Amino acid sequence: MTACVRALQKLNQRRDISSWLAKWFPKAPAKSVVALKTPIKVELVKGKTYRWCVCGRSKKQPFCDGSHFFQRTGLSPLKFKAQETRIVALCTCKATKKPPYCDGTHRSEQVQKAEVGSPL
Cα separations in angstroms, 48 against 34, 45, 81: 26, 6, 6
Q: Please state the pTM of the whole predicted model.
A: 0.76
pLDDT at 5: 55
How far apart CA 35 and CA 104 sit, in angstroms, is 15
pLDDT at 19: 63
User: What number of other Cβ atoms are within 10 A of residue 99's Cβ?
Assistant: 16
In tens digits, the chain (120 residues) has pLDDT values of 566 556 545 555 555 555 666 666 656 778 999 999 999 999 999 999 999 999 999 999 999 999 988 788 889 999 999 999 999 999 999 999 999 999 999 999 999 999 999 998
pLDDT at 21: 62
